[in-house]
Structure 1
Amino acid sequence: MVFSWRGGRGARRLLLSLLLLAAWEAGSGQVHYSVLEEAKHGTFVGRIAQDLGLELAELVPRLFRVASKGRADLLEVNLQNGILFVNSRIDREELCGRSAVCSIHLEVIVDKPLQVFHVEVEVRDINDNPPVFREREQKVLISESAPLDSPFPLEGASDSDIGRNSLLTYRLSLNEHFELKITTKTDKSILPELVLRKSLDREEIPELNLLLTATDGGKPELTGSVQILITVLDVNDNAPAFDKSIYKVALFENAQNGTRVIQLNASDLDDGLNREIFYGIRMILPVSEKCMFSINPDTGDIRIYGKLDFEENTEYEIQVNAIDKGIPSMAGHSTVLVEVLDLNDNVPQVIVTSLSLPIREDAQLGTVIALISVSDRDSGANGQVTCSLTPNVPFKLVSTFKNYYSLLLDGVLDHESESEYMLVVTARDRGSPSLSATAKVSVEVADVNDNTPTFAQPEYTVFVKENNPPGCHIFTVSARDADSQENALVSYSLVERRVGERALSSYVSVHAESGKVYALQPLDHEELELLQFQVSARDSGFPPLGSNVTLQVFVLDENDNAPALLPPGSGGVSGSVSELVPLSVGAGHVVAKVRAVDADSGYNAWLSYELQSAAGGARSPFRVGLYTGEVSTTRALDEADAPQQRLLVLVRDHGEPALTATATVLVSLVDSSQALKTSSWASAGAAGQEAALVDINVYLIIAICAVSSLLVLTLLLYTALRCSAPPTEGACGPGKPTLVCSSAVGTWSYSQQRRQRVCSGEGPPKTDLMAFSPSLPPSEDCLNPSCEVSHLYNLNMYIHIYIF
């Protein structure tokens, strides 16, 4: 395009404006297209993906979409080729009325990352509306005395198109009295007038019918016509005349109904009835179904008859007639231009057009969450809007384009602290007084698996009585995860390991959902006293997180083993044995010794011996030691005693219920000569047994004293360390009782020497000496009927002392 500077200062200003407009559009980042109205469906508009710098392959993955503030179905994008095309009928007049510029504003939004582009599609006018007259017939009253060249205004046609398509030309049907004259008004609109070129004679021609045709400037041109009915009146020489041909008035849009607009005044030089005038409104432009003004026919006072609205119409043109009462009457014409002034009477509108929710709690700073648009129907400062956000939230608003804002992340999120934010966006105009509107935006914070399941304590101690039923519920582990939904859904499993030669899973199992731990088989205290293992808690997040807890399961003894008599080679009596006893022995002579052991522990292994009464109730000269099992005489023997005596020794443990075993001792009373042969052997055997018992007792006493001293020293040292540490909850004070299962064992007792295997299944077996707490009644908190629960405080617990 070439510009000439010969046009003077106006041309230079025009060129400068065009250059500034081009620079502004280039910096705004917009894409402009144009399309004709009434274009067919599928009409090409532009290669929008290419013009925005987007690859066709990424349109679908990045959720390419187009949003429109108005009707969203007018234009559409083919995601296969990135072409913007017409989707439905576009009527420029319906969309923009008579505005000089008509554009459709599109917001193109793509995700990952979120980008927003602004596209303006100009809708160009086509000549699709013919000129239209308001009425099918116009009546014009003309006095026969009207002078030549008298003008008679006609009502012009209107065309809904704009530009050249709305430029109207008029032509009048052929006649000898009138010709058509076009008058251009101050607002550049044209008004057709009839100009009298030949005097009228009512007696010759009382009426004339003419055809007025309006043609627009479009291609092809469209026309409209109206019938002009001219009535020739008898002489009333002077028509009323107004002071001005055009009156201008300005009113604020909040003017009340009935407010005076203007007081018109017309005069007539005639006398009598021909001088009297009444007023009427001939037409109000723009044409509306509602009558916005009224006129007093006697005074010419024009008042508001409705409600003015600047946003609906900014100006009105009132065409007024002043008609005298002559016969025939004559009319004068004038125009009142009413300008409507804007007031700040419209509250801003806030629209959230795009949301990327929920937002992950580990989202980066600056992440776009929402696109917010604001608008105000007012003009000037009344329509200028600023946007603000609720304070003290980790978000901010950033202006992106005109009245568009982006809601961005401006702080660190934590789902566990705050799972949802209710944001309030406030839009405020610059009018006086200022008006504002708010919109609430709910931002949900999505959880991320950033918390590990945790147990209340790192280790639990569980006591279970042996011989439990298979599948017995022995304990429940529970871990808590601070996350939500699947990230907080915890499942439990065993940490598999070997227990001796067997797998841990053959002893216990854990329910994956409830955390209940079950014993899969009956446990045997004599085989396994302590089972130590770990349970793992793992959430369902991605990637999953987990932690472990240790369970120490102590298997408590039950009285499930009866006393067993030692074989004769061990120095005791087993089953039935015969002994020769001289008649010469005195009271207290040891005849035999019954030895028995019990595979149980504690009270269950504490044995006592008693002699069954003889048949017939006769008093036996023998007795048995309650805890030693030694059978000895109670008095000196004599010949009156039965030569053959059968002694029945009952061995009983202290379990509940007690279990027993029976040994039979056959005693034969002989004289001294018969017993002489066996006396030396008996003496030697007795001496050896006594010596062995003495040795065993000495060693046992020494061991007990040493271990007891070590235990006391350890407890004192532990108590001193605990009390010297900084005071914490539960230190050096009464603690919360531990829930355990206790055995019904009584006082201190010596257990048999036997080989025990512990939970680890590793290392050599150990000889144990065990101390037991007093029996306690069963508690109602026991996990199942196979075990009993008691609360043990301080030192009232099981103490296992292993002697290697």
Structure 2
Amino acid sequence: MVSLRGYNWKSPQLLLLLIILAAWEAGSGQLHYSVPEEAKHGTFVGRIAQDLGLELAELVPRLFRVASKDHGDLLEVNLQNGILFVNSRIDREALCGRSAECSIHLEVIVDRPLQVFHVEVEVRDINDNPPIFPSTQKTLFIPESRLLDSQFPLEGASDADVGSNALLTYRLSTNEHFTLDVPPSHEQVKPLGLVLRKPLDREEAAEMRLLLTATDGGKPELTGTVQLLITVLDVNDNAPVFDRSLYTVNLPENVPKGTIVIKVNASDLDEGVNGDVVYSFSSDISPDIKSKFHIDAVSGEITVIGVIDFEESKVYKIPLEAHDKGFPPLPGHCTVLVEVVDANDNAPQLVVSSLSLPVSEDSQPGRVITLISVYDRDSGANGQVTCSLSPHVPFKLVSTFKNYYSLVLDSALDRETISNYQVVVTARDGGSPSLWATASVSVEVADVNDNAPTFAQPEYTVFVKENNPPGAHIFTVSAMDADAQENALVSYSLVERRVGERLLSSFVSVHAESGKVFALQPLDHEELELLQFQVSARDAGVPALGSNVTLQVFVLDENDNAPALLGPLTNGAGSTVNEVITWALVPGQVVAKVRAIDADSGYNAWLSYELQPAAAGVRSPFRVGLYTGEISTTRALEESDAMRQCLVVLVKDHGEPSLTATATVLLSLVDNGQTQKVSSKVSVGASNLEQGLVNINVYLIIAICAVSSLLVLTLLLYTALRCSATSTDAACAPGKPVLVCSSAVGTWSYSQQRRQRVCSGEGPPKTDLMAFSPSLPQGPSSSDNADWQREFQASVCFSFINCIDNSIIPLFCFTISSAHFHNNFGKYSYLGGPGKSKSRKDQ
């Protein structure tokens, strides 16, 4: 607000200030000041910072600045006190020409936040230009025969000032022959007239000199003079006379050269050469008119020879003369007033300034992006400009002042959708046809960390063979971040947890930049079959955003464990055992059993037994069960058979490559009496051992049945839920039985493969984790005393069934054997057939 403190309340300056204030309040928030032209450097104009409501301490931090389109150096603001002062010489006439109103439009711009204020400084005219005549001397030829009251036109003076400073009065030096005829103010287009009041007499005065003075209305007054040299002529006494003293013509701008403007006509009452009229421009016509118009000396036709531009001049005043050919020649005068009609020949001009870029994607609607000003040199409807934006952009134009606009944010931005907008501003005038111009503003959207890294899927399943080398690359995780620059820079890390007694980081590591997952040590399927952990992905934004992905690392079994022998074969002699048998054996009777286990899983733990062939040509009376390890007779023993039989049993698994172990069984053949003596020593102990093993097998069978039943029930429930969720075209049907583990006597049993297939139409087929229930052997029977010794062994296998090609991907198997309990009850060996004595050797 403009301060009134210290003003004299009776001064006219205060009245003028109040008028300015009232105009400011009635306007659209624009400040108005006034300053006289030719003011000295440093002249006070106004307290602009105070009037705009800005604190002085904010001017420098908020980048307070004043801008003007064409007159940026005339006025300046002192940033220390906020005063607007005159910076350089202001010439009103050079600034605005003959315009009655003259002002300097300033844009006051402050940043943080961006604000724009409009200030208009009126430049007051002072009387600094005297009246000027076209020339310092004008010669008039007047015949002595001219009648009284004859009028001779004179070119008036011009004053570059406006208002009362340009209001001219004329006076003629004292003489007895002529007076001055001054037209009223509303007929200024009519020339001054020199009126003859007393007849001339060439013989008395052939020449006269008069002084014509023009005085303006300024304070102080300024004057201009022209000397009139009047030559009195004799003879030709009739001057040409025009039809009209003033001709008015409307001429469109940009007419082609050669266009006829008007044809004037003058007549002379004389006869002969004294009546022949010749047309011409007045001698004191301006060079600009001569460059644009031409008059035919004979016909009086005025044509266009230059460019007629409304923006250069809106009116042309052409003084004409018509001379006869008498001697001396007599002139006639008239004026042609050519008013130029505006044409829509100037397209609008757009100026984009004060860009506030880039724009953060979290900017609120209403934020000012840039300032746009438009200008059209045409007038009227041809100069009325409307602005519009290209469609489908989140911006709008807000008019802040006449022909001034602000480009502001209209709706929310999302850099991940569109990162750069090419906003096209179109300015169109009201002419017919209308002209238009465009300006393109590139608005870059700055990124904000509003997107967390995302993985392609929430969980990955990885299969790694055991015994991998330390530092082996097992998988690569990759997360994408829709943000840009550091907000999209993703780093990876493990989500630490404990795996048993150790930390997860002792097993695996992840590269922070590439996301590669490495196994830090060899993995052992026998110790760790499934390693499940999470990898975290975080960006580098502030604040950082992140997400996790789960990795299930299945350690696949390799055949790295050879079969291990159990029972008496593991005595101090290594893999050799001695057995005493009787000669009276029937074919098919079991005489011994080789027991072995394999720490591997699946096929790698599936054992088979082979009896190494005896010497060439010798047919051994014994054989070994392929999958049971039971050594039985193939025929009745004969006297020709050796008393001491050495059998070498090869135990091998089904891995690739296969691993083996050998067991040596030494069989000593004795008579029945000797066998009875040996067996009687252990009959009591064997009976107790048989009862204990029966109890162990019963408990083991009950436990395995309970676990298998729970597992089968879980799988059935899972399959029912999955089948109920599938679409109408999905199929859920049991597959055909597949032999997973087999044995000759049923130790490895058939398992029913259950298959489920999920067909959704969009996602890829899925695989299901399947478990296979083992078949349980029968407990020992009292009818066959040899069956109490048979080892119970059951295997449970887990596999994936691929729904695409129904292939089976084995994961792992585990084996439950009664041999696991031997440490508690000791090892035992079969000593004879039914009804024979048994013995036990404790360890």
TM category, shorter:
0.7 to 0.9
User: Higher mean Cα deviation, 793-802 or 323-332?
Assistant: 793-802
Q: Does 1:474 align with 2:469?
A: no
Q: Residue 650 of structure 1 aligns to which amino acid in structure 2?
A: L
Deviation of the 1:650 alpha carbon? 2.6
Q: Indicate conservation of the 8 Å contact 2:712/2:773, yes or no.
A: no
Q: Which of 783, 793, 796 is residue 770 of structure 1 equivalent to? A: 796
Q: Residue 552 of structure 1 aligns to which amino acid in structure 2?
A: Q
Match of 1:23 in 2: 22
User: Higher mean Cα deviation, 710-719 or 689-698?
Assistant: 689-698
Q: For residues 687-736 of structure 1, give each alpha carbon's deviation from its aligned partner in whole angstroms, at most 9, with x where no partner exists.
A: 67776776666666555555554444433333333333473897855446
Structure 2: tracts of 5 or more residues without a match: 1-7, 733-756, 777-792, 817-843
Deviation of the 1:315 alpha carbon? 1.6
Matches of 2:283 and 2:372, distance apart in 1: 44
Match of 1:759 in 2: none
Q: Indicate conservation of the 8 Å contact 2:292/2:304, yes or no.
A: yes
Match of 2:272 in 1: 272
Distance 1:324 1:429, change over 3 A: same
Q: Indicate conservation of the 8 Å contact 2:240/2:330, yes or no.
A: yes
Match of 1:611 in 2: 611
Q: Indicate conservation of the 8 Å contact 1:565/1:573, yes or no.
A: no
Deviation of the 1:768 alpha carbon? 10
Match of 1:723 in 2: 723
Distance 1:518 1:184, change over 3 A: farther
Deviation of the 1:630 alpha carbon? 3.8
Distance 1:41 1:711, change over 3 A: same
Deviation of the 1:796 alpha carbon? 6.1
Deviation of the 1:127 alpha carbon? 6.6
Q: Indicate conservation of the 8 Å contact 1:182/1:190, yes or no.
A: no
Matches of 1:795 and 1:699, distance apart in 2: 32
Q: Indicate conservation of the 8 Å contact 2:249/2:338, yes or no.
A: yes
Match of 1:13 in 2: none
Matches of 2:798 and 2:764, distance apart in 1: 18
Matches of 1:77 and 1:17, distance apart in 2: 23
Structure 1: tracts of 5 or more residues without a match: 4-15, 751-766, 777-788
Q: For residues 324-366 of structure 1, give each alpha carbon's deviation from its aligned partner in whole angstroms, at most 9, with x where no partner exists.
A: 1112222222222223344555444454445444444444344
Matches of 2:473 and 2:616, distance apart in 1: 54
Distance 1:440 1:361, change over 3 A: same
Match of 1:559 in 2: 559
Q: Residue 68 of structure 2 aligns to which amino acid in structure 1?
A: S
Q: Residue 103 of structure 1 aligns to which amino acid in structure 2?
A: S
Taking the TM superposition and a 5 Å limit, the aligned residue runs for 1:576-587 are: 576-581=576-581
Q: For residues 647-686 of structure 1, give each alpha carbon's deviation from its aligned partner in whole angstroms, at most 9, with x where no partner exists.
A: 4333222211111223334445556666555333466677
Q: Residue 282 of structure 1 aligns to which amino acid in structure 2?
A: S
Q: Residue 654 of structure 1 aligns to which amino acid in structure 2?
A: H
Matches of 2:275 and 2:285, distance apart in 1: 29
Q: Indicate conservation of the 8 Å contact 2:97/2:160, yes or no.
A: yes
Q: For residues 8-49 of structure 1, give each alpha carbon's deviation from its aligned partner in whole angstroms, at most 9, with x where no partner exists.
A: xxxxxxxx9999876333222221233455667666543322
Q: Indicate conservation of the 8 Å contact 1:310/1:342, yes or no.
A: yes
Matches of 1:682 and 1:281, distance apart in 2: 158
For the residue of structure 2 that corresponds to 1:329, the secondary structure is coil
Q: Does 1:500 align with 2:500?
A: yes
Q: CA RMSD in A?
A: 5.1
Q: For residues 199-223 of structure 1, give each alpha carbon's deviation from its aligned partner in whole angstroms, at most 9, with x where no partner exists.
A: 9998999889999898888899988
User: Higher mean Cα deviation, 21-30 or 638-647?
Assistant: 638-647
Distance 1:246 1:697, change over 3 A: same
Q: Does 1:627 align with 2:627?
A: yes
Match of 2:400 in 1: 400
Deviation of the 1:557 alpha carbon? 0.9
Percent of residue pairs identical: 68
For the residue of structure 2 that corresponds to 1:288, the secondary structure is helix
Q: For residues 130-188 of structure 1, give each alpha carbon's deviation from its aligned partner in whole angstroms, at most 9, with x where no partner exists.
A: 7666568755545576789977655555554545666678899x999999968456465
Q: Does 1:238 align with 2:264?
A: no
TM-score (norm 2): 0.74
Matches of 2:730 and 2:59, distance apart in 1: 64
Match of 1:515 in 2: 515
Q: Indicate conservation of the 8 Å contact 2:602/2:814, yes or no.
A: no
Q: Indicate conservation of the 8 Å contact 1:170/1:212, yes or no.
A: yes
Taking the TM superposition and a 5 Å limit, the aligned residue runs for 1:711-790 are: 711-725=711-725, 727=727, 732=732, 733-735=757-759, 770-773=796-799
Q: Indicate conservation of the 8 Å contact 1:143/1:233, yes or no.
A: yes
User: Higher mean Cα deviation, 498-507 or 179-188?
Assistant: 179-188
Distance 1:801 1:122, change over 3 A: farther
Distance 1:105 1:563, change over 3 A: same
Q: For residues 402-448 of structure 1, give each alpha carbon's deviation from its aligned partner in whole angstroms, at most 9, with x where no partner exists.
A: 33344444445444555555555555555566666555555555554
Aligned length: 763
Q: For residues 555-596 of structure 1, give each alpha carbon's deviation from its aligned partner in whole angstroms, at most 9, with x where no partner exists.
A: 111111122233649899843344445556565565544333
Matches of 1:680 and 1:513, distance apart in 2: 76
Matches of 1:486 and 1:284, distance apart in 2: 77
Match of 1:762 in 2: none
Match of 1:298 in 2: 298
Deviation of the 1:373 alpha carbon? 3.5
Q: For residues 43-79 of structure 1, give each alpha carbon's deviation from its aligned partner in whole angstroms, at most 9, with x where no partner exists.
A: 6543322221112332344343333233444444444
Deviation of the 1:120 alpha carbon? 0.9
Q: Does 1:92 align with 2:118?
A: no
Matches of 2:683 and 2:803, distance apart in 1: 52
Q: Does 1:529 align with 2:555?
A: no
Match of 1:659 in 2: 659
Match of 2:782 in 1: none
For the residue of structure 1 that corresponds to 2:723, the secondary structure is helix
For the residue of structure 2 that corresponds to 1:273, the secondary structure is helix
Distance 1:671 1:801, change over 3 A: closer
Q: Residue 564 of structure 1 aligns to which amino acid in structure 2?
A: A
TM-score (norm 1): 0.78
Taking the TM superposition and a 5 Å limit, the aligned residue runs for 1:100-179 are: 100-125=100-125, 140-143=140-143, 155=155, 158-162=158-162
Deviation of the 1:256 alpha carbon? 5.6
Q: For residues 213-247 of structure 1, give each alpha carbon's deviation from its aligned partner in whole angstroms, at most 9, with x where no partner exists.
A: 98888899988888877766554333333344433
For the residue of structure 2 that corresponds to 1:23, the secondary structure is helix
Deviation of the 1:514 alpha carbon? 3.9
Q: Residue 515 of structure 1 aligns to which amino acid in structure 2?
A: G
Distance 1:81 1:515, change over 3 A: farther
User: Higher mean Cα deviation, 280-289 or 223-232?
Assistant: 223-232
Distance 1:793 1:449, change over 3 A: farther
Distance 1:219 1:23, change over 3 A: closer
User: Higher mean Cα deviation, 326-335 or 281-290?
Assistant: 281-290
Q: For residues 517-539 of structure 1, give each alpha carbon's deviation from its aligned partner in whole angstroms, at most 9, with x where no partner exists.
A: 33222211112111111122333
User: Higher mean Cα deviation, 594-603 or 420-429?
Assistant: 420-429
Matches of 1:698 and 1:585, distance apart in 2: 31
Q: Indicate conservation of the 8 Å contact 1:311/1:378, yes or no.
A: yes
For the residue of structure 1 that corresponds to 2:288, the secondary structure is coil
Taking the TM superposition and a 5 Å limit, the aligned residue runs for 1:482-493 are: 482-484=482-484, 486-493=486-493
Match of 1:763 in 2: none
For the residue of structure 1 that corresponds to 2:340, the secondary structure is strand
Q: Residue 605 of structure 2 aligns to which amino acid in structure 1?
A: A
